[in-house]
Amino acid sequence: MKLRRKLFASKDPYDCTRSQLFLDACKENYSHLITHCDDYKKISEGLGIKGVHDIKGVCDIPIIPTMLMKQHDFRSGRYMVMATSSGTSGKMSHVRFEFGALMAALRMSIKVTRYHGIMSFRPCRYIVMGYKPHRSNKTAVAKTAYLTTFLAPAISRKFILKHTSEGYKPDFDGIVKALEKYEKGKAPVRFMGFPSYTFFLFRLLEERGLSFKLPKNSRIMLGGGWKQFYQEAADKETFYKLAKKTLNIDEENITEFFGAVEHPILYTDCAAHHFHVPVYSNIVIRDPDTLEPLGMGKTGLVNLISPLCKATPILSIMTDDLGILHDGSTCPCGVKSPYLEIVGRVAPEDIKTCAAGAADILQGVKV
Amino acid sequence: MILYDGKTYESSEQDRLLTELENRIPEILGKKQLSPEVVIEAVECLRNDLLEGKFDDLLASFPADVVDSYKQQAEALLSKEHLHKKLETELGNTYEYTTEYIKGFNQIRVRKMPLGVLFHIAAGNMDFLPAYSLAEGLMTGNINILKLPSADNGLSLKLIMQLIGYRPELKDYIYVFDTSSSDIQGMRKMAELSNAISVWGSDMAIAAVRGLAPTGVKIIEWGQKLGFCYITKLDEVEDAGKELEGLAKHIAQTKQLLCSSCQVIYVDTSDMSEVKAFAEKFLPFLEAAANANRSEEIGVRARDTLVSYTQRLKSYLGEEERHDNVIRGRSCSLIIAPDSELELSPMMCNVLVKPLPRENIGKVLYEGRYHLQTAGLICPAEDRKYLAELFTRCGLIRVTKSSDMSAYFPGECHDGEYALSRYVRIVNVEE
């Protein structure tokens, strides 16, 4: 995986000149997958890609939908760490990472977070708007939220979702108490986690007439997506205003991450709140009817490509998100690569067939 | 959300309410019996309000033409006259009578009575089906526990609450739970409270319910069925183009999701080149129908495309039957297979096309006997009677025109039986 190493060692995480290296690294990954994963080979051949010579561009790489990964466990080599998707619909993908993938991910994280000024040596207090790590929780969201608390030395970590005997429960009152304490201290506070819980917290504070003047350099870092949250229609402007009003955190100190366990690339929004595509990945937006690649500015299914991982065939995956790829060359932040806008999700997956009428009984229950 | 005693409760109250229901059931059974007239009146009120547009906001998520078609159906099928007719057709004479005297034997009074408590595990593939299944349970006087399908969009509960609004005495007979199917304890408790379980689903789902149910509970199965269309002597069929258009529309409109939907098109031949020629001829019809029925909503289209693509990849993995000979069109495909097995297609306008020479019909249908239900026919008029006879002799329940495979015919049975007759028992009391 020489080419992967080279790609992930790129100095500039948004270097637009490395598309050939990217394609070559993908081919290298593909060659590994078809020789180490029978299932991947079957799919590739089924789709008419008989070998690496059939891959002329990143669009040609066989696409594995996350929908299939939730139904079928793929393996393509030895691994060190396994993570699962959050499984909002009850089904989860299992993604395994080998040492090389973890190292590449680490390199990428350091480069990207440094680039966006998120990495700091100044100790801070973390409020994680997500899961408290627990042995029963293998979701990548819990792991990444926890890992993010290492981007600056932690004085303390407070979690909003606590594991109780009845499962995970939000503890808003505990957070309010912590805020009262932290406001009096000097250490910056860093919020990390789901946008939905963070937004609920803002509203709760607003309803109770509470506001805090958190120490300077406090930040909000959002990850885990707005997926379950479209109903609330919280537009980002409102979110930023509430952050200022309730916690005294300015918009420029709010950073959002985007990623998926099946595509563990760190997308970080720029000053203009755009998710530019880093050098480690490519995004192809595909026609919702034919899966043919679409040009910039058109809405379609989001096909995410990265040669990060060997142990699971996640070279080219398709999520159930709908998105648009925009031309990034005019973004005021200076990054020239295209940026992704997620505009929604496909309709619920549970296709309602006669056969499926009571079949959901089987999915959760082994009777 | 739970509906219990006419009031709604949070799902978290399920355990408490189920325990309370255990005491409530014998009280209700001991006290009175629900008259079908009460149910019929409530259903007719619902129909009238629906036709007057009182539920238009609830139906706003459906396309306008679908709402119109629902209203048309409701006007006819939910009317008092039709419901009385349904009772008469499905239950026969419900009046109590005394058997004739036969020397040496005592006489008995004979009467049809409700089973007691019916637990409905309804399917989510048809709008309103959970509410309809519950209404059938009510018409036969049963106490009904309804587990909503996970895909229910809240419409069922609203309609059921309306029924109670019209006739509050119905509240003793309706208990709706939005239990997750993974809540095995909850489901088992509901099964234990019941005399019968009415379950819709696949073979495996039904096997799961059988495992869940206590011994002695009657299981009323509405299992998974597979529809097919049989095509013979297409050249001699009058207006064959219209017939093919009708079949294509049926496939596109149902997206092959119903038990009656066409999964396989059988061509009366053993020559694969004829099968292929038919598929090539049919593709433009299917493509046109698929595109005409394409949802405007990008999320739905993208979902359908993803599902089809995932199924296709599964076929490469050997998890689904693999077919190499596929003719693809925009948003649809025809999968040509050399065998004659009746099987589930990948659905969503991806239809199997197979050879089935007439002389093999009996064998193929016998092999598929557990899943037979609807056959559509495209044949010359003079062959129709013979084929309909042959199909029904071999186990088919419905033989229709190709365009009407999923149509509802007033007075029809379901999977060879009348639902209401399965929800009652016959009691004998010695004079």
Per-residue pLDDT reduced to its tens digit, A198-211: 888 888 888 888 89
Q: Residues with Cβ < 8 Å from A169, sequence gap 6 or more?
A: A161, A162
Asked if B125 lies within 8 A of A356 by C-beta distance, the reply is yes
The pLDDT assigned to B196 comes to 97
**Residues in A touching B316 (Cβ below 8 Å):** 42-43, 45-47
Q: Which of A246-255, B18-27, B271-280 has the lowest mean pLDDT?
A: A246-255
pLDDT given for residue A134 in this prediction = 64
Neighbour count for residue A293 (Cβ, 10 Å): 15
Quick check: A351 and B121 CB within 8 A?
no
Strands (E), B174-300: 174-177, 196-201, 218-223, 226-231, 262-267
CATH H-level superfamily of B226-404: Aldehyde Dehydrogenase; Chain A, domain 2 (3.40.309.10)
Give the integer Cα–Cα distance in Å for B65 and B67.
5
Average pLDDT over residues B28-37: 93
Does the pLDDT at position B108 exceed 90?
yes
Q: Where in chain B is the domain with CATH 3.40.605.10?
A: 2-224+415-430
Each residue's pLDDT tens digit, B13-27: 999 999 999 999 999
Counting other chains too, the contacts that B350-353 makes at CB distance below 8 Å and 24 or more residues apart are: B350/B256, B350/B308, B350/B311, B351/B251, B351/B256, B351/B262, B351/B263, B351/B264, B351/B265, B351/B286, B352/B263, B352/B264, B352/B265, B352/B323, B353/B264, B353/B265, B353/B267, B353/B275, B353/B278, B353/B279, B353/B282
Which pLDDT does position B151 carry in this prediction?
Answer: 63
The band of B430, judged by pLDDT with boundaries at 50, 70 and 90, is very high
The residue among A38, A49, A67, A354 with the most chain B CBs within 10 A of its CB, best to mutate, is: A354
| Residue (of B101, B117, B121) closest to B109 by Cα position | B101
Domains of chain A: 2-86+96-106+277-345 (2.30.38.10), 117-258 (3.40.50)
By DSSP bridging, strand A254-260 and strand A263-268 are antiparallel
Q: What is the pLDDT of residue A43?
A: 94
Chain A: closest CA distance from residue B158 (Å): 20
- With bands split at pLDDT 50, 70 and 90, how would you rate the model's confidence at B4? very high
A301·B348 Cβ contact <8 A: no
CB-CB under 8 Å, A360 with B305: no
Give how far Cα B378 sits from Cα of A233, B254, B336, B344, Å.
50, 19, 19, 20
pLDDT at B420 over 80: yes
Q: Find chain A residues with C-beta within 8 A of B151's C-beta.
A: 348, 350, 352
Report, as an integer, the average pLDDT of B146-174. Answer: 88
What pLDDT score does A87 carry?
54
Tokens of B29: 């059974």
Please, are residues B347 and B376 in contact by the beta-carbon 8 Å criterion? no
Pick from B200, B302, B313: CB nearest A68: B313
How far apart CA B109 and CA B99 sit, in angstroms, is 6
Distances (CA, A) of B8 to B11, B177, B250, B429: 9, 10, 39, 40
Considering chain B, what is the average pLDDT of its residues? 90
| Mean predicted lDDT score pLDDT of chain A | 83
Q: Is B205 on the interface with A (CB under 8 A)?
A: yes
Provide the number of CB pairs (under 8 Å) joining chain A to chain B.
174
Which residues in chain B (347-406) have CB-CB distances under 8 A to chain A? 347-348
- Taking residues A105-132, what's their average pLDDT? 84
What pLDDT score does B361 carry?
A: 97
The shortest C-alpha distance from B301 to chain A (Å) reads 6
* Tens-place pLDDT, residues B315-329: 888 865 555 688 888
Which residues does chain A have within 8 Å of residue B199's beta carbon, measured at their own beta carbons? Answer: 358
**Closest chain B CA to residue A346:** B299
Residue to test with chain B: of A63, A353, A366, most B Cβ within 10 A: A353
Name which of B184, B298, B319 is nearest A322 (Cβ-Cβ). B298
Q: Which whole-number Å values give the CA distances from A140 to A93, A259, B20, in the listed order?
A: 10, 10, 41
Q: What is the pLDDT of residue A233?
A: 44
Instruction: Confirm or reject contact between B294 and chain A (CB < 8 A).
Output: yes
The confidence score (pLDDT) of residue B44 equals 95
Half-sphere exposure (Cβ direction) of B36: Cα atoms closer than 13 Å? 21
DSSP result, B14-32: HHHHHHHHHHHHHHHHHH-
> Would an 8 Å CB–CB cutoff place B184 in contact with chain A?
yes
Residues of chain B with CATH 3.40.309.10: 226-404
User: Rounded to whole angstroms, how far apart are CA atoms A333 and B92?
Assistant: 78
**CA–CA gap between residue A202 and residue A243 (Å, rounded):** 7
**3-class SS at B424?**
strand
Record: contact A361-B309, CB cut-off 8 A: no
- Fold that domain B2-224+415-430 belongs to in CATH: Aldehyde Dehydrogenase; Chain A, domain 1 (3.40.605)
A86, pLDDT greater than 70:
no
Asked whether the beta carbons of residue A289 and residue B330 sit closer than 8 angstroms, the reply is yes
Helix (H) or strand (E) run with residue A323 in it: strand A316-326
Residue B129 Cα, gap to closest chain A Cα (Å): 11
| pLDDT at residue A141 in the model | 58
- The answer to whether B208 contacts A358, with C-beta atoms less than 8 Å apart, is yes
Strand partners, B333: B328, B350
Report residue A47's pLDDT band, with 50, 70 and 90 as the boundaries: very high
Query: Is B122 at the interface with chain A, CB within 8 A?
Result: yes
**Taking a C-beta distance cutoff of 8 angstroms, is the pair A22, A279 a contact?**
yes
pLDDT at B197 over 50: yes
* B123, B187, B316 ranked by CB distance to A43: nearest: B316
| pTM metric for this prediction | 0.69
Higher pLDDT, A240 or B194: B194
Contact A130, A163 (CB under 8 A): no
Q: Are the C-beta atoms of residues A317 and A330 closer than 8 Å to each other?
A: no
Nearest residue of chain B to residue A298 (CA atoms): B298
Rounded-to-integer distance, Cα A172 and Cα B88, Å: 59
Residue B335 has a CB neighbour count (10 Å cut-off) of 23
Task: Round the CA-based radius of gyration of chain B to a whole number and report it.
Answer: 24
Q: How confident is the model at residue A175 (pLDDT cuts 50, 70, 90)?
A: confident
CA B193 to each of CA B116, B117, B201, B218: distance values in angstroms, whole numbers, following the listed order: 10, 7, 21, 12
Please tell me what DSSP assigns to residue B214: P
Greater confidence, B157 or B139? B139
Answer yes or no: do B205 and A347 touch at CB < 8 A: no
**Average confidence (pLDDT) over A301-323:** 94
Q: What is the least distance, in Å, from the CA of A129 to any CA of chain B?
A: 24
B contacts of A291 (beta carbons < 8 Å):
305, 309
Average pLDDT over residues A228-236: 51
Q: Which residues of A13-40 are buried (b: 16+ CB within 10 A; e: fewer)?
A: bbbeebeebbbbbbbbbbebbbebbebb
- Smallest CA–CA distance, residue B73 to chain A, in Å, is 21
